[in-house]
Amino acid sequence: NPNKGEKLNPAAARRNGEARGVLGLPPPTAMAPALAAAPPPPPRPLLSSSPLLTTHRIPRRRRRFSPTTHLDAAATARATRAADPVEALTATSYPAYDRLLPCPSKDDPPRIEHLVAREDEVAGDFISRSLNLPPLYVADLIRFGAVYYALVAPQPPPYAAPEHVRIFREVTEPSLLRQRASIKGKTVREAQKTFRVTDPSQHLEAGTYLRVHVHPKRFPRCYEIDWKSRVVATTDDFVVLNKPAATSVGGATDNIEESCVVFTSRALGLESPLMTTHQIDNCSEGWFVFCYQLI
């Protein structure tokens, strides 16, 4: 090969062309049009981290808007683009779902949805219809402790979209709040306190706010542990557990099911779950003391 900047002499160029002809390769100048005309490779399909989560497309259909309000940017954009204020074409997709178990090895991207019921609703049906989620998925989210409610919607953050602020002002109008029997005797701050939804059939009064953690944090390590062998000691009042790493003692904000409390209680055959007396970080391993009841 010649050095950089050095030109090939005619003999070397001729030998280079003869070698390409023996190998069946076209000259470099003949390859340029073929490369330019070659189509680009097809894009690779997106894969989900969970074997149970695969994209499922719902057919496009015309439907009436629900009287409920969905406080997310996508719903706001759809409502803004709708030419007909009563009916609009919608096309949505949601993960095809069996159960939250088996636990995936990786967490799905965080997704938190905020909802406000504009009329009396049933929690499970309302969430399933508003977010296009399978009812069984919603029921398991509630069982995992991933759904919260408040009688009155909390104050939007400073970076909230103008549409969100407008909806907040509508549902917290003082004249409307005075008509609601559930918040009589409570301050607005007290009514904005959140609690977990514990039953899919829970009744929601018009104006009730919901926060749904659609992709809860998972703890796959819980299913790899022989929990009974990790129990160090049991007494009439306490249970000492050698907590494994990568597990949560009492659960996360959106997952109270996959925790040391639940799995240890099951391993010991207890009818009511144990209670925590202190805390250890999820990444830590060490002895932890549970009690049967708080004194």
pLDDT digits (tens, 9 = 90+) for 240-286: 999 999 999 999 999 999 999 999 999 999 988 999 999 899 999 99
67 is written with which tokens?
């009287």
- Report the pLDDT value the prediction gives residue 108, as an integer from 0 to 100: 84
Query: What is the rounded average pLDDT of the residues 93-98?
Result: 55
Higher pLDDT, 73 or 185: 185
**Which one from 98, 199, 237, 281 is the annotated catalytic residue?**
281
* Average pLDDT of the chain to the nearest whole number: 77
Q: Which of 133, 17, 114, 9 has the alpha carbon at shortest distance from 69?
A: 114
142 is written with which tokens?
């509630």
Query: What is the rounded average pLDDT of the residues 219-243?
Result: 94
User: Going from the N-terminus, what domains does the chain have, and what CATH number goes with each?
Assistant: 54-84+98-213 (no CATH), 220-291 (3.30.2350.10)
Please calculate the CA angle 272-275-280 and round it to the nearest 5 degrees.
140
Contact yes or no for 166/160 (Cβ under 8 A): no
- Report the pLDDT value the prediction gives residue 17, as an integer from 0 to 100: 56
3-state secondary structure (DSSP) of residue 163: helix
Look up 140 and say whether it is catalytic: no
